[in-house]
Structure 1
Amino acid sequence: MALPPIFDKLRLPVVGAPQFIIANPALVTAQCKAGIVGSFPALNARPVELLEEWLTEIKADLAAYDAANPDAPSAPFAVNQIVHKTNARLEQDVELCVKHKVPIVITSLGARPDVNDAIHSYGGIVLHDVINVAFAKKALEKGADGLIAVCAGAGGHAGGLSPFALISELREFFDGPLLVSGAISTGRGILAAQAMGADLAYIGSAFIATTEANAPDAYKQMIVDSTANDVVYSNLFTGVLGNYLKGSIKAAGLDPDNLPQSDPSKMNFAVGAEGSKAKAWKDIWGAGQGVGGVHEIIPAAERIARMKREYDEAKRALCAS
């Protein structure tokens, strides 16, 4: 099955993952102008009134760019909605997405038919985060248009399955839009994602180390300085398993090699350690195992251009072999 026409403007088969706190209009529009889907979590715009300002700003910026660059129009943008009972803003945020006709909505931590129906009402599409086949089937039953396989090694909340295993199992029953996340930071990784059966790569951590990202300089530098061995998988910080930078855990006064377990039945955004508190994602910094492929802090457009060169070179090399 071919990708929906909404993806026709992509110049590289990539969706920039929506990263809590990190993603902002500057990063989103830079990604879209460079030819990949840019995205941000609705909850990054606080208070809720700011979300409308951001949507207006992004649409106006991309429209102006498209008018000036008719031969290389921008890719569509996406908004991430946390579909979880703890998100008291969900209804308001979805209403704003409908009002502004957001092209792509990414849903996480739950799937709801009413949210999907609202996005479908104006022709938008819904991509849903999944970590296993059971969640994937539920998401499709509730009306999701596409799936994002969040696999082992992905930044932030991540699953534990190998992308080779999960993509293969998903393709046994689903031939629609399929994205894969998990330690992808190079053009070679993007091509590998397609080779294993995904349509698009879903990349987050590499864009933390960009000039546009809303991250402290120390966070960006830690991405550059870290390797896969510096990433810790734990549910302590939110109650949901995720990947975090070892250096930030140490800075919070915790031992990354001996972290206790959290209560998985609830979202818990703070953790105490010997009288101190460290909050995800403000103090405990999320990142995927692909950080070893990120070697400098550069503009998002430059990072995407490099990925495109690597992707094209890898494809040529494979075709010539």
Structure 2
Amino acid sequence: MSIDFTFGGRVKVPLIVAPMFLTSNPPMAIAACSRGVIGSYPAHATRTREVFADWLVETEEGLSKLENPAPYAVNLVVHPTNERYPGDLELCAKHKVPVILTSKGAPEDAFDRIHEWGGVAFHDVASARHAEKAVEAGADAVIAVCAGAGGHTGTINPFALVNEIREVTDKPIILAGGMSTGRDILAAQAMGASMGYFGTRFIATEECLADENQQRVMIECSAKDVFFSAALDGAPANWLRPTLIEAGLNPDEIPAYSAGMSVINPKKMDGRYTRIKSAGHGVGMIKSVERTADLCDQIIKEYHAAKRDFAATLASPERSLSTASLETSE
């Protein structure tokens, strides 16, 4: 299946605003779509399936008032342990959600169902083997979740992961992990990806569900404040060090990995999604709380400026390292 990543010219920059648990919502997704960026949210961020149904209606009504908006996307956890998955999938089918971002497992029936209503499925992967299994099951593209992504994250450098995925499939790659500017999107394309995937960069926006304290912490932090560990809930994840400390945990005593993943007192982790916050390595680019639409506009400008600069670099010998200059420096 060949994918038009401009979706008929509606996508103005190859970017998806990633679905973030307890952060993304319809207003944020609609605002992104209004600027030609694919907005999204996770189905499981809603407390009930009825609330999820309301979100879908809200999104469709909001987009119907816009002229030629980008399509929206919904994240579905397609693993059997997600009891809501079958019902949420059917709601997506009812509303013919154009883009489904799947994660946790790669069941063939899910991709078949998505294709039945004309949707496309992009699946999270963190290794070449994950990508291979997703493509075999019918995913239309893979989201390469690399080291540096916020929340539950991959652990492989983006250069290495993209190269390894390319050895097992020629399916489109959407690159995720530590990206935050329009220049990053161009760099991802230069690596062979079709789109970028930004999450952290959009947490400090007016429309999102993050509270003022979380947004304040995001503005104050940089990449050095991102703490990696799989010991908090059993999966590799990036957390913000200041929020761990505020929750009564000592990051210096938390290992990256531990046998059984049981080093954290469950009582201290009861509020991990309300007190302990996650972020990717791109958190340092957050300088203030912005409107989602304005942030999208900024990223689009950065992207086109980067394209012009890079074209000039390629066209001008003085602006690039030639073989001769390399030989001179040796």
Alpha-carbon shift at residue 141 of structure 1 (Å): 0.8
1:70 equivalent in structure 2: none
Structure 1, unpaired ranges of 5+: 67-72
Q: How far 1:157 moved relative to its partner?
A: 0.8
Question: Counterpart in 1 of 2:217?
Answer: 222
Report if aligned partners of 1:237, 1:271 keep a CA contact under 8 Å in 2.
yes
Match of 1:69 in 2: none
Map of 1:7 onto structure 2: 7
Question: CA 1:33–1:137 in 2, change beyond 3 Å: closer, same or farther?
Answer: same
Change (3 A) 1:192 1:6: closer
CA 1:194–1:5 in 2, change beyond 3 Å: closer, same or farther? closer
Per-residue CA distance 1:183-225 (angstroms, 9 max, x = gap): 1111111111111110100000011010011011111111111
TM-score of the pair, normalised by structure 1: 0.92
| Structure 1 residue 238 displacement after superposition | 2.2
In the TM superposition, 1:294-309 aligns within 5 A as: 294-309=286-301
Report the Cα distance in structure 1 between the residues aligned to 2:61 and 2:271, rounded to whole angstroms: 34
CA RMSD of aligned residues (A): 1.9
Percentage of pairs with the same residue? 41
The aligned length equals 311
Which structure has the larger Rg? 2
Deviations 1:123-166 (A, max 9, x none): 10110000000011011111111100000100111111111111
1:35 aligns with 2:27: no
Contact 1:237 1:262 in 2 (8 A): no
Structure 1 residue 117 displacement after superposition: 1.1
Tell me the TM-score normalised to structure 2 length. Answer: 0.90
Given the alignment of the two structures, is residue 272 of structure 1 paired with residue 265 of structure 2, yes or no? yes
Secondary structure of the residue that 2:101 maps to in structure 1? strand
Q: How big is the shift at 1:280?
A: 3.2
Taking structure 1 as reference, are residues 264 and 192 closer, same or farther at Cα in structure 2, changes over 3 Å only? farther
1:54 matches 2:58: no
**Partners of 2:227 and 2:241 within 8 A in 1:** yes
Deviations 1:43-69, CA, capped at 9 Å, x for gaps: 112211111111111011101112xxx
Amino acid aligned to 2:303: Y
CA distance in 2, matches of 1:63, 1:82: 27
- Flag the 1:263–1:91 CA change in 2: closer, same or farther, 3 A: farther
Write the distance in 1 (CA, Å) between the matches of 2:265 and 2:168. 44
Equivalent residue number for residue 306 of structure 2: 314
